[in-house]
């Protein structure tokens, strides 16, 4: 058995993609005009305002600004909404022929407040003229942001407050004639720092990992925020025969802290894919947070890889589904665990899967405080917990555990 995985599937080959990316081109002329004010000067788009602004400046955005913006300095970008121009919006263009995202470079510190980031598309060709792209310099197919549909944070620091990242697409890109898939439909954080405060990441698509957010070796914090209705697509069995761990809402290999936040209604790819709401291969902690109504084959709510450390404190995992239309034998409706999982005064309830309706455990599971696994369902075994005991999986009850494992169907704990 692959210690990183919970279910081993032989014979994985090839590159699988499920159809075209779904997005609707936006007509720029139909939207409110854009005005960006920096240092008392008005600009028609964000990029020239950023270039002209001194480090530490505040840029005010009104209306809808189109195109991408690359930021390599410390700035504040503040939206000013009004009845005539509506919500302050940065719109990437929503087209493979006109890619656009907000790009934050190494060392830059960016604060975004009261802004909607939408229509972002990470582009398909880099560098321009690559034979694998079929493009040429100046043909409009150059990709400024190779990763991330809405935001690509390349080692910088971003704080989003009272903002929305919605309706963005992360597509495959071509590098040296080979297809690269990076994901992060809404946000791709590459070894940087991203903080969301009272913000929303919704309705984004990633062809790869992290429909909403892909956090690669970075730091991600959500406080009072929501990640909802995001999805990964075209990831049947994974690219190049690799296993599929896309994370419809969030994919993580770094450090994540969720406080008073909600991960809901996300879906994680096709058959054999893991983590409808969250896929974790790093360190992930949820505090007073909710994972609800997500769906994937392995870990409808959360998939915790063998390298992952996952802690839930005073949190809830509920009404998630381990299921796909084409693959039988789904595992872990609420949580599929192959690493280290600790439930501290948290509840796993109302989840469903073929095996392990509440939790499918192939690693180390620890229950502390009032941690409870209740009223989950499995169509085969392990309504509450399916424990791979023969593969070394363990369940540890803390010295002061006062929770319950009850009301699960067809059984509360199934040791295999």
Q: Judge whether 58 lies within some domain.
A: no
Q: Judge whether 87 lies within some domain.
A: no
Angle at 257 between CA 254 and CA 262, to 5 degrees: 120
DSSP 8-class letter at 29: G
Residues 47, 27: Cα–Cα separation, whole Å: 20
For residue 218, the SS3 value is coil
Tokens encoding 164 = 């929305």
Q: Judge whether 367 lies within some domain.
A: yes
Range of the domain at 167: 93-415
Residues 16, 9: Cα–Cα separation, whole Å: 16
Angle at 231 between CA 344 and CA 27, to 5 degrees: 135
Identify which has the larger pLDDT, 241 or 168.
168
Strands 255-259, 283-287: pairing kind: parallel
Q: Judge whether 195 lies within some domain.
A: yes
Q: What is the pLDDT of residue 94?
A: 61
Tokens encoding 83 = 């009845």
Residue 343 pLDDT greater than 60, yes or no: yes
Which pLDDT band holds residue 100 (cuts at 50, 70, 90)? Answer: confident
Rounded average pLDDT over 206-215: 88
Identify which has the larger pLDDT, 402 or 83.
402
pTM of the model: 0.87
Q: Judge whether 304 lies within some domain.
A: yes
Q: Judge whether 260 lies within some domain.
A: yes
Domain count of the fold of the chain: 1
Q: Judge whether 4 lies within some domain.
A: no
Q: What is the pLDDT of residue 83?
A: 81
Residues 330, 316: Cα–Cα separation, whole Å: 21
Q: What is the pLDDT of residues 23-40, one digit of tens each?
A: 333 333 455 689 999 999
Q: What is the pLDDT of residue 173?
A: 56
For residue 240, the SS3 value is helix
Which pLDDT band holds residue 365 (cuts at 50, 70, 90)? Answer: very high
Q: Judge whether 396 lies within some domain.
A: yes
């Amino acid at each position: 058995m692959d210690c990183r995985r919970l279910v081993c599937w032989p014979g994985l080959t090839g590159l699988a993609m499920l159809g075209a990316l779904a997005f609707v081109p936006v007509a720029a002329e139909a939207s409110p005009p854009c005005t960006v004010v920096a240092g008392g000067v008005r600009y028609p788009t964000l990029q020239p305002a950023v270039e002209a602004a001194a480090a530490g400046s505040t840029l005010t955005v009104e209306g809808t600004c189109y195109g991408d913006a690359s930021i390599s300095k410390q700035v504040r970008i503040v939206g000013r909404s009004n009845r005539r121009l509506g919500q302050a919006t940065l719109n990437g263009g929503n087209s493979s022929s006109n890619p656009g995202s907000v790009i934050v470079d190494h060392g830059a510190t960016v604060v975004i407040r009261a802004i909607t980031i939408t229509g972002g598309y990470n582009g398909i060709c880099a560098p321009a003229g690559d034979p694998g792209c079929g493009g040429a310099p100046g043909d409009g197919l150059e990709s400024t942001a190779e990763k991330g549909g809405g935001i690509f944070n390349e080692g910088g620091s971003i704080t989003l407050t009272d903002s929305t990242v919605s309706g963005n697409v992360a597509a495959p890109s071509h590098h040296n004639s080979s297809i690269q898939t990076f994901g992060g439909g809404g946000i791709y954080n590459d070894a940087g720092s991203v903080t969301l405060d009272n913000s929303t990441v919704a309705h984004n698509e990633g062809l790869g990992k992290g429909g909403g957010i892909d956090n690669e070796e970075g730091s991600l914090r959500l406080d009072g925020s929501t990640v909802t209705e995001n999805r990964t697509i075209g990831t049947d069995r994974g690219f190049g025969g690799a296993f599929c761990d896309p994370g419809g809402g969030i994919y993580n290999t770094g450090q994540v802290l969720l406080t008073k936040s909600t991960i809901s209604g996300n879906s994680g790819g096709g058959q054999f894919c893991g983590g409808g709401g969250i896929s974790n291969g790093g360190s992930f902690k949820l505090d007073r947070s909710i994972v609800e109504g997500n769906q994937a084959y392995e870990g409808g709510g959360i998939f915790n890889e063998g390298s992952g450390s996952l802690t839930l404190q005073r949190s809830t995992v509920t009404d998630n589904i381990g299921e796909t239309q084409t693959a039988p034998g789904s595992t872990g409706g609420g949580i599929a665990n192959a690493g280290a999982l600790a439930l501290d005064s948290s509840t796993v309830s109302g989840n469903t899967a073929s095996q392990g309706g509440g939790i499918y455990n192939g690693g180390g599971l620890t229950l502390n405080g009032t941690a409870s696994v209740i009223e989950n369902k499995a169509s085969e075994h392990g309504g509450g917990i399916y424990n791979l005991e023969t593969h070394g999986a363990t369940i540890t009850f803390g010295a002061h555990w006062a929770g319950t494992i009850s009301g699960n169907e067809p059984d509360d704990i199934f040791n295999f």
